Amino acid sequence: MRTTIREVAREAGVSPSTVSRALSMPGLVNSVTRERVLRAAQRLGYEPNRAARGLITGKTGNLGLIVPDLANPFFPSLVKGVQARAREADYAVFLADSDEDPAAESDLVRVLAKQVDGLILCSPRGREEDILTLAATTTLVMVNRRFGRVPSVVFDNSDGIGQAVAHLAALGHKRVGWVGGPRASWSDRDRIRALRAATAAAGMDLYVAGHFPPQFEGGVAAADLIVAAGVTSVIAYNDVMALGLLGRLRDRGLRVPQDISVIGIDDIQMSSMSSPTLTTVSLAKEQAGRAAVDLLLSLLERPDGVRKPRRELPTQLLVRGSTGVAPTD
Amino acid sequence: MRTTIREVAREAGVSPSTVSRALSMPGLVNSVTRERVLRAAQRLGYEPNRAARGLITGKTGNLGLIVPDLANPFFPSLVKGVQARAREADYAVFLADSDEDPAAESDLVRVLAKQVDGLILCSPRGREEDILTLAATTTLVMVNRRFGRVPSVVFDNSDGIGQAVAHLAALGHKRVGWVGGPRASWSDRDRIRALRAATAAAGMDLYVAGHFPPQFEGGVAAADLIVAAGVTSVIAYNDVMALGLLGRLRDRGLRVPQDISVIGIDDIQMSSMSSPTLTTVSLAKEQAGRAAVDLLLSLLERPDGVRKPRRELPTQLLVRGSTGVAPTD
DNA sequence: ATGAAAGCGCTAACAG
DNA sequence: CTGTTAGCGCTTTCAT
């Protein structure tokens, strides 16, 4: 059996409450007694039972993190960030993967919500209604999505896409294609909005290839449309799709970047390992995880005192091998 | 406030104990009463407080999972498997990423161990001594490592590497190179042992390029040694390294598979997306996660009743574009 | 088959 | 500054 607060109390010759105080509110205890208690606790290897503490304080010391698909290389980085920051703040993290299934997601939320102080939710496609209901009951932070007054952490897509378009314009490109992700995804909408604005401002033509699954295969599928559209450059919803594009373009006999320039978004590891390496809009994913935790913790401290519960994280274009000057035919 | 067992009791016109029984040991309650209770619980959206339950039963209903680096594409799949199986069994999962740092790992273990019923540990390089100490206190299952009597889930590396060597032999290769992972890794030792046996049996020459970090860069670094060694085929510790090899070999002007054949291990997503696609020994990663949970649960049920607390998961060579007949010069 | 009572380990009033 | 008391929500004897 684990040592309990009583045993420590006996060992130190004080009452359990004093032990409790010495550990949680050291200021309220005589320094001599405190020392004695701490040493006793040390000696016995005492660790407070968090469940018991939680029962009375109403706080669990746990956070929940729900992601749609850990196999998507975007998420591991985010999870690492959440992890790291949570650990610093002495919180443990429940992780759940909804497998892109909204129903499973609701279940997970319901189960997890009981055992955590707050929830970080990546639900690009869940119903707004459901999320609002949830937000009413639980302290939660959304990642990669924004609506209503729900606290959120998102990336500054406008900036990143602006940089990408400026880069292409500087290389002499006049026509750019867009390979979209899931229609229902908030990021997709945000990104295409930014792209419309940026290309219009730069006087470039924009060809939208439509929506595709945010996988390698999605990029493969889009490639032929892109080729047919005759654009000299293309931006994809994410890096995985851009890599799919790259593969199919090569198979079609097109050279990247001589014949067509390709840009991705995310900066996943593989984007620097492909051939050619992929020019991409880098997202500070780990930082986003940390920011989400920070936001959540501040929300927990002062439930309504956070004026603007929104964070927007920087993005940065990384120019690599897949972009070059526009073909001059 | 969440609804408590008392409110359900009042709503159903019974005592709290009856509610408890109706939920946890339905057999002990009159079926009519039980129905009434269940409906009341339903109506009030009652969910038992796990912490409170745990306080008395001594079980938390949580599992812990510690991985060295979620950014390594091997782990997300494993995590997904653990997740999925745990959810089915109504367990929640604490995830922790030790960032390849043994010290952080010990901390995590210590913190998590208190809040879970059992632990799944991926610690390719942690000290055996530390793990044994831990295993004495906590119910735990190791993944990808095996020693002593510690329960474990590993892959059948012998089989997979045997298949790979047979494949190369069938293609006429006589000399095979090995690009090793971390020296301290159990898997690395297991794999090279298997490789030594298989090549010897097949009468092939084996060139060992040494140990490298299990990253893309490790493969890149090994490539030149491999070229210099003059082998016609090479097997890498994992897919990420094999992709690094592929990249560097291409940069050196070698054609894969015409000049040299390359085989990886893991079957990560990217291995089917590279060019050429990567022949690889596929590991049932999700299944390993599920198996680890299964093993852990059976250990929790009958602490000493599990005769052989070891699982060995199948491996399967996937032949793709990076292997071909040996050059005939 | 059901209820009353006790208590898991801890913290938070309330006294002193 | 410290001890006593009560009780968080639940399960589990022990009665009935």
CB contact under 8 A, B97 and A114: no
Residues of B in contact with A60 (CB under 8 A): 51
A10-30 tens-digit pLDDT? 999 999 999 999 998 888 888
CB of A216 within 8 Å of a chain B CB? The answer is yes
Q: Which helix (H) or strand (E) holds B260?
A: none
Q: Other CB atoms closer than 10 Å to residue A86's CB: what's the count?
A: 24
CB of B49 within 8 Å of a chain A CB? The answer is yes
- The pLDDT value recorded for residue B279 is 98
- Helix H segments across B252-319? 285-301
Where would I find the beta strands (DSSP E) of chain B? Answer: 62-67, 92-97, 118-121, 140-143, 152-155, 175-180, 205-211, 233-236, 261-266, 279-283, 310-313, 315-318
Rounded to whole angstroms, what are the CA distances from B22 to A246, B26, B28, B147, B273? 59, 5, 7, 44, 53
Distance CA A232, CA A325 (A): 9
Q: Which helix (H) or strand (E) holds B304?
A: none
B4 CA vs C12 C1’ separation (Å): 21
Measured N-to-C along each axis, helices A5-12 and A16-24 cross at an angle, to the nearest 10 degrees, of 100
Place of tokens 């997890």: A112
Distance CA B35, CA B280 (A): 55
Structure tokens at B307: 């005769």
Confidence band (pLDDT; 50, 70, 90) for A112? confident
Distance CA B26, CA B20 (A): 9
Are A60 and A117 in contact by the 8 Å Cβ rule? The answer is yes
Among A237-246, A287-296, B128-137, B155-164, which stretch is predicted with the lowest mean pLDDT? B128-137
CB of A23 within 8 Å of a chain B CB? The answer is no
Complete edge-to-edge strand list for the sheet that includes strand B279-283: B205-211, B175-180, B233-236, B261-266, B279-283, B315-318
Whether residue A328 has pLDDT greater than 80: yes
- The pLDDT value recorded for residue B1 is 63
Residues of B in contact with A94 (CB under 8 A): 62, 92-95
Confidence band (pLDDT; 50, 70, 90) for A288? very high
CB of A247 within 8 Å of a chain B CB? The answer is yes
The residue type at B285? K
B88-135 tens-digit pLDDT? 999 999 999 998 888 888 888 888 888 999 999 999 888 899 899 888
- The pLDDT value recorded for residue A259 is 97
- The pLDDT value recorded for residue B63 is 96
Shortest Cα–Cα distance, A196 to chain B (Å): 30
- The pLDDT value recorded for residue A329 is 66
A55 CB neighbours strand D below 7 A:
yes
Measured N-to-C along each axis, helices B5-12 and B16-24 cross at an angle, to the nearest 10 degrees, of 100
A40-54 tens-digit pLDDT? 999 998 989 998 999
- The pLDDT value recorded for residue A28 is 86
CB of A54 within 8 Å of a chain B CB? The answer is yes
A194-214 tens-digit pLDDT? 999 999 999 999 999 999 999
**Looking at residues A126-142, what average pLDDT do you find?**
90
Q: Which residues contact A240 (CB under 8 A, 6 or more apart)?
A: A72, A73, A214, A215, A216, A218, A219, A264, A266, A268, A270
CB of B84 within 8 Å of a chain A CB? The answer is yes
Whether residue A114 has pLDDT greater than 90: no
B255 CA vs C12 C1’ separation (Å): 73
- The pLDDT value recorded for residue B329 is 66
A58 CB neighbours strand C below 7 A:
no
φ, ψ for residue A298, nearest 5 deg? -70, -35
A4 CB neighbours strand C below 7 A:
yes
Residues of A in contact with B275 (CB under 8 A): 247, 250, 275
B248 Cα distance to chain centroid: 29
Q: Other CB atoms closer than 10 Å to residue A18's CB: what's the count?
A: 21
Are A229 and A209 in contact by the 8 Å Cβ rule? The answer is yes
Q: Which residues contact B310 (CB under 8 A, 6 or more apart)?
A: B146, B151, B152, B153, B154
Nucleotide with minimal C1' distance from the CA of B31 is: C1
What burial letters (b/e) apply to B214-237, b meaning 16+ CB within 10 Å? bbbebbbbbbebbbeeebbbbbbb
Taking only Cα atoms into account, the Rg of chain B, rounded to an integer number of angstroms, comes to 25
Residues of A in contact with B213 (CB under 8 A): none
Low-confidence ranges of chain B (pLDDT < 70): 1, 305, 329
**Protein-proximal positions, strand C, CB < 7 A:** 1-5, 7-13
Q: Give me the sign of the Cα torsion angle B176, B182, B184, B190.
A: negative
Distance CA A72, CA A303 (A): 32
> Where does residue A203 rank: exposed (0-12), middle (13-18), buried (19+ CB within 10 A)?
exposed
Residue of B nearest to A49 (CA): B114
The residue among A304 and A97 whose pLDDT is bigger is A97
What DSSP string runs through B103-164? HHHHHHHHHHHTT-SEEEE--SSS-HHHHHHHHHHS-EEEES---TT--EEEE-HHHHHHHH
What DSSP string runs through B282-298? EE-HHHHHHHHHHHHHH
Residues of B in contact with A70 (CB under 8 A): 76, 79-80, 83
- The pLDDT value recorded for residue A105 is 87
Closest CA to A3 of A57, A43, A61: A43
Whether residue A306 has pLDDT greater than 80: no
CB of B53 within 8 Å of a chain A CB? The answer is no
Confidence band (pLDDT; 50, 70, 90) for A294? very high
B59 CB neighbours strand D below 7 A:
no
Among A108-112, A185-189, A227-231, B301-305, which stretch is predicted with the lowest mean pLDDT? B301-305
Distance CA B39, CA B24 (A): 15
A301 CA vs C12 C1’ separation (Å): 19
Are A91 and A301 in contact by the 8 Å Cβ rule? The answer is no
CB contact under 8 A, B114 and A52: no
B17 CA vs D12 C1’ separation (Å): 9
Beta strand pairing call for B140-143 and B315-318: unpaired
Q: Which residues contact B329 (CB under 8 A, 6 or more apart)?
A: none
pTM (global) more than 0.85: yes
Whether residue A33 has pLDDT greater than 70: yes
Whether residue A67 has pLDDT greater than 70: yes
Residues of chain A above pLDDT 70, percent: 99
